[in-house]
Amino acid sequence: MHFTKKATRDALRNIDCLVDDERLNGTTFARLLAAELEAQHVAENLDDVNIVQITVGQLIGEVAGVTDEELIDAARPLLAAGADGKVQKSLTNGHILVAKRAQVDVAMNGEHRKVSVGTRFLSADPEVLEKYALAPIQHKAENLARRSAAHLELIGDRQPAMAERTATFLDELKVTFTMELGGGE
């Protein structure tokens, strides 16, 4: 991505995160984001979460010294909380990057509204990780399973000639899911 704002390019150049004077060096920027999170945004227990969580934009601003939509759009994928995220891979000390939604009050045209924003923080605490990392994974998997089963049932009900195929597909899906989770051969 080419950054159109000179201030953004200058800020990234100052922290050695600009390649060919136009692209974000994602690996270096991810390491800097990880270092900032490890220094300032670690939840040692459940009570710390709301204190240490930081929005994606705020975190990028702390590291780069600037925030704009181009930089946030380019850097947001680095902060993916899954196993493949570059910041996640850069972490040390047993910390896990956790993504959470937080409600913030925003004043717009004289009205106060609650807006949901993405936040990030680190933790190695089992209770924090269970609540903010494991439980959301389980919730998503359960919802996917329910929606998939309902969709297959709908197809079978509306197209009776497909009923046997959808039942077979559901059985195969169960096996695949179990195998992907390491529960089968």
The pLDDT averaged over each successive group of 10 residues in the chain (185 residues) is 85 92 90 96 97 94 92 93 95 94 85 90 98 95 92 94 92 89 70
42-43 and 111-123 strand pairing: parallel
CB 173 within 8 A of CB 146: no
Residues 91 and 131 in one domain: no
Q: Which range of residues forms the domain containing residue 32?
A: 1-124
Residues 114 and 154 in one domain: no
Boundary of a domain, candidates 109, 124, 139: 124
Number of domains in the chain: 2
Residues 130 and 174 in one domain: yes
84-115 CB burial, b ≥16 within 10 A, e <16: ebbbbebbeeebbbbbbeeeeeeeeeeeeeee
Model pLDDT, residue 21: 75
Model pLDDT, residue 3: 86
Boundary of a domain, candidates 124, 145, 171: 124
Residues 28 and 65 in one domain: yes
Model pLDDT, residue 184: 59
Q: Smallest Cα–Cα separation from 36: which of 114, 117, 97? A: 97
pTM across the whole model: 0.85
